[in-house]
Chain A
Amino acid sequence: MDILRIVNVGVGGQGNLLASNLLGMAALDSKVPVVVSEIHGMAQRGGVVESAVILGGAESPIVSQAEADILVSFEPIEALRTLNKANKNTLVITNTRPMPPFTVAIGQAEYPDPEVSVAALAKKVKNLMAFDGQALAEEAKNPLALNMVMLGALFGKATLPIGVPSIKKMIKQNTKERFVDSNLLAFDLGFKAAKG
């Protein structure tokens, strides 16, 4: 089995760690060797959150510079910030809905136009999927389900050694009961968006 290094990046509160954890559980359920790692830091206070899921038998829990096979970003400028983990063959999937940091909100810094960010990404990697994932979460009537949309897009776009039924089983078993339906819908919307 080929080793697949997936990096998830986002902002505190976007559910990035849950996405990695669900992917890890689905891998275990599918008998795919897996290690997951996460940096919590002071994420709760609006900082950047990064996690990694490594499938296929590598033992190292982290992904080095230029070595991510897939980079999933929940926020457009965080995709750019984490681009040092990518190389030209990395599949980059990014949500395009901005979540400006407070430095921008209070006028201390400028937030690049998402179109500019997407164009910059497209210049660096061959394989890019940029879409408004937040809109799909809202369509699923669950604005907090961006993580499910991004997981759906990952499953739709990448060739993974894990089947869709397995990740759906984990979503059903490990997310709050009243959100399960909207989470699954959000996953499907992300999946369809990836299949185009």
Chain B
Amino acid sequence: MDKLLTQSGGATHLLLGNEAIVRGALEAGMAFATCYPGTPSSEVPDTLYRLRKQNPDQVKYYFEYSTNEKVALECAAGAAVAGLRTLCTMKHVGLNVAADPLMTLAYTGVNAGLVVLTADDPSMFSSQNEQDNRYYARLSGLPMLEAKGPAELKEMTKYAFDLSEELKSPVLLRTTTRVNHAREGVTYAKLPKVKQTSVFKKSPMDFVTVPAVSRKKHLRLLEIYDKSQAISEASEYNKVTGRGSYGIITTAVCKNYVRDALKDLGALNQIKVLNLGFTWPLPEKKMARFLKSVEKVLVVEELEPLLEDAVRSICQKKGIATEIAGKSAKFPEVTVDVAPPKFFSRAFEYNPRLVRQVVGKTFGLKAKFTTPLKLDDLPVLPGRPPNLCAGCPHRATYYAVKEVVGKDGIHPTDIGCYTLGLLPPIQMADFLVCMGSSVSSAGGFARATDKKVVSFIGDSTFFHSGMTGLVNAVHNNLNFTLVILDNGTTAMTGHQPHPGVDTEAIGDATTHIDIEQVVRGLGVEHVTTIKPLKTKAAIKAIEEAVNHEGVSVVISKELCPLFAKRVVPRTRKPFEVKVDKCKGHMDCINKIACPAMYVEKGQAKINAGQCVGCALCAQICPENAILPVKEA
């Protein structure tokens, strides 16, 4: 049996932060869960999905990969209003998509616990921005909890359900990459009996937000704010540790950095710390008492100076003269990789050394630091950027489109593996801001310029937020070609299913939805489905689509090879370059940059161990010098 499903309490297991959220939810008796996957949150839904699939007799909660975060939250809201304990998970930018239901769900409230996970990504390890979702607690008026690591995260997740029920309000659980993707020992409590179904008691004057209802419900939200602030004041998660005449206020993963810094500086008895875990509403009275008791305070928080500003405001209101230190106004360096900032900045994540340095400097404490090595004389290192896999069908689609429109086309792109089309030699990505923007922005580019616009979107992203943009384009007579890269899975975040997936192949009881039928249903007249690995036919179809006046859609259909290997194993022979036939045009190397290819002493070659036999290079070789490996 899976360790996460252990019925009894007591044992300690090494859990990933995201697994700790799952265990916490199970210990809270969660009956319903929805999500849209996204790093760093993905292992929460992936674990819920796996547990249910592998243990159908034991696992009874409902779980779905929803089409997008707004849908996930609305579905979750229905279940929680009906009376089931519900978890809804997403990455930070996902909450932008779900912000609409969130803001008014804060008014209506819920009848059973509803916990909404927002996983932020300071330093943007795999995100398009590093927005600070603590703002969402302030914007919505909902309570927010933040843990320092997996053990606390498990407890907090469980507590979040109780808090949500006590307040009859959704609760935001905010994490960052360093909490989601840390592992530590987590001690289990026992699993409860779970309430699987519920009876919904109708109460339209609470749950149908016409203005007359909402006016009342806004006041209710303000009351809940006061009530949750009182709980925050008394919360065990907002706790003072240590003693001294200096103070630090900190939260989330920074609690660890501060604790380690004080130990290393030998300052545990000189500086006391207000550790915040129940971070909205802020325990203002507790903070005021703390601030009065210290001569100087340092605020240690990543991203926006929200606690720092609150501290300044509390001091002003209460006439407290404590000296306040926090963020620097300077900007850190920007490099291709994530460089650690050298001071507390509003950009990028913190780290233990940085916190130790700033704490030492702020309070005049001597710290020992190991000296960084001088590295300016190292050999020049080749970059190792991520790359489309060997045999990735996206590469073939990009090749075919480029053959048709050349380098002059404008290519809005979207979020998925295919965003790597940004890199040379493909370089077919011109604009990207969020999920679905490829479709809608294409209309803007097409109207504003006289260039061919061919935009790219993945299958999962199309269902997520591409469909409405497409309806808009058809309705408003816009002129561009949309290529839907249908690789049969949500590849980038770890092969989660989506509505277009072959449900039979993966053994799911969900219903398959055909992308071509959807596109036709949305009113697109010129729709073609191509097999990108059949290069000639693909180019011809793309040419016709591009020449069509109005909106045209090309569905490029070929399974992600990593997914196919797992789901529908098949044997394609690897290819090799026949050296006697090759005349060194290097089209295979220069046009497609497949990681299975390499150059040895000026000769293009294929690594048979990596080649999956997609035959793209064989089709573009002007000498037909690339052929399947003959078995000995």
The interface of chain A, by Cβ under 8 A from chain B, is: 11-12, 21, 24-25, 28, 34-48, 58-67, 77-78, 80-81, 83-84, 86-89, 100-112, 116-117, 120, 124-125
Contacts and interface: CB of A to CB of B under 8 A. Distances in A.
A78 B14 CA distance: 27
Contacts of B379: 80, 112, 116-117, 120
In the A-B complex, the 8 residue pairs with the smallest Cβ-Cβ separation, listed nearest first, are A64-B353, A109-B382, A105-B598, A45-B386, A59-B256, A36-B183, A42-B386, A61-B182
20 contacts: A24-B14, A41-B386, A42-B126, A42-B492, A45-B386, A64-B340, A65-B353, A66-B371, A83-B375, A87-B372, A101-B382, A102-B595, A103-B383, A103-B384, A105-B597, A106-B590, A107-B589, A116-B379, A120-B377, A120-B379
Given A45-B417, A120-B378, A66 B373 contact: yes
A35 B182 contact: yes
Nearest to B607: A105
B387 A102 contact: yes
Interface in B98-129: 125-126
Interface in B321-358: 340, 351-354
A102 to B, nearest CB: 4
Given A61-B256, A65-B372, A28 B12 contact: yes
B558 interface: no
A87 B370 contact: yes
A137 B562 CA distance: 24
B181 A47 contact: no
B593 interface: yes
Nearest to A123: B377
Contacts of A87: 370-373
B354 A21 contact: no
B375 A84 contact: yes
A110 B351 contact: no
Given A45-B388, A64-B351, A36 B14 contact: yes
Given A42-B126, A120-B378, A47 B385 contact: yes
Main secondary structure of the interface of B (DSSP, over half): loop
Contact of A41 (B12, B125, B352): B125
B351 A62 contact: yes
A41 B177 CA distance: 10
Contacts, number: 172
A193 to B, nearest CB: 25
A173 B260 CA distance: 33
B381 interface: yes
Given A60-B260, A105-B599, 8 more contacts: A21-B183, A41-B126, A59-B255, A63-B352, A65-B351, A66-B353, A66-B373, A84-B373
A108 B383 CA distance: 10
B184 interface: yes
A117 B351 CA distance: 28
B597 A106 contact: yes
Interface in B1-37: 12-14
Counting chain B residues whose Cβ lies within 8 A of the other chain, the interface size class is: 35 or more
A67 B370 contact: yes
Contacts of B282: none
B381 A112 contact: yes
A195 B201 CA distance: 71
Contacts of A11: 384
A47 B417 CA distance: 13
B178 interface: yes
Contacts of B184: 24, 34-36, 61
A111 B126 CA distance: 27
Contacts of A80: 378-379, 381
B40 to A, nearest CB: 8
B185 interface: yes
Nearest to B392: A45
B595 A105 contact: yes
A60 B354 CA distance: 12
A25 B125 CA distance: 26
B185 A34 contact: yes
Contact of A88 (B185, B260, B353, B373): B373
Contacts of B259: 59
